[in-house]
Each structure stands twice: as structure tokens, then as C-alpha cells.
Structure 1
């Protein structure tokens, strides 16, 4: 004797009219219209993080990438624009500070060189 469940299955049989197969199409745009500036922000975070502007730009870049993944193009553009401005400011400030430090180093080196020269001159009795 067959169990009741198996008997019912054999009595019903398979579906006589199978449902049509459904397909899902996902359109992924080939071009990304919104640059998120993540690489530039990461570079500024590691090398030119003046006043933590590089880190803040990196945070906005990540927010821009998140908005882009969700499909919010306007939000992604807003965050990307902010990240770009912060990256530019961080880069300019870092370059200016680097130039100032080079000038100060050269000035101090020149002064020390003159002091050593005068000490040698005085010790030789000129």
C-alpha cells in the first residue's frame, strides 16, 4: 500500500500546461556619468591630508559612490562635486605648504652655513 501523499501525487500527475518562463532584464549603463573621485581622494588622504581635507573628501567620494549605486544621480553629483572641491583645496594647500617648507628649509640651511663660515673665519684669526 502506498502512503497517502504519494498516491495523491501520482493521481494528480504533472502540470498539463506549464507556466511560461519569465525572464528578468537588468539594464546596466555602460558609461558612468558621475565621477566619484575616490582615487584622488584616497591619494589626498594618504599624501596630502592638510587639515584633514583629504579624509573628508574621501568620505564624500564614498557617499557619491553609494548614491550612484542606488541610482540617485543627483545625490551622487552633489557629493562628487563637494569631494572635487575639497580635493582641489587640499591639493593647493599641500602644494603651498610644501613650497613654504622648502623655502624655510633653504633659508635655515643658508643661515646655518653662514654661521659656520663665520665661526671658521673667526677661529682662523682673519
Structure 2
């Protein structure tokens, strides 16, 4: 009997975390997500899949929050800038 071991794919979200670190980094959420992503990748290389999945889940949650807050802040600042520009021009 031949047993074939399947590799469990654990996404580490490093690229998404790097994007959030560089562009959408409110309250350093992107940087913290990047740290968890690297930690997940390290644990995956060691063979600790449970720890890798836990760190990847935390990184994903932080990335979602960083992206959401970053988009909301950018939108609010854009709207505020337009309102101020219109008030000044009148």
C-alpha cells in the first residue's frame, strides 16, 4: 500500500500584507499583519501547520481591517478636501 501525503496549502497573505504596510497602514495594522504573515510562513517551513494557520488567520483579519479603515479614511479625506476647496473658492 502506497500512502501519498498531500501538502496542505496554508496561504500566508504576505503580498497583501506588504501592500497594506506600504499604502494602507492606519494604526500600524498593515505592519502587524506583515509580521504575522512572515510568522505564518516561518511556521509553515518548520512544519507547524496548525500554528501557521493560526498566524495566517490573524494576518488575514488584520489585513481586512487595515484595508477597510484605509479606504474609509481615504474616502473621508477626499470628501473633506472637496468640501473645503468648494468653501474656499466661494
Structure 2 regions of 5+ residues with no counterpart? none
Matches within 5 A, 1:1-126: 33-114=9-90
The number of residue pairs the alignment matches comes to 87
* Separation in structure 2 between the aligned mates of residue 49 and residue 32 of structure 1, nearest angstrom: 30
Report the TM-score when normalising by structure 1: 0.66
Moved over 6 A (4+): none
Answer 1 or 2: higher relative contact order, Cα 8 Å, separation at least 6: 2
Query: Which one has the bigger helix percentage?
Result: 2
Report the TM-score when normalising by structure 2: 0.91
Shift of 1:32: 5.3
CA RMSD of aligned residues (A): 1.6
Which is greater in Rg?
Answer: 1
* Separation in structure 2 between the aligned mates of residue 32 and residue 55 of structure 1, nearest angstrom: 26
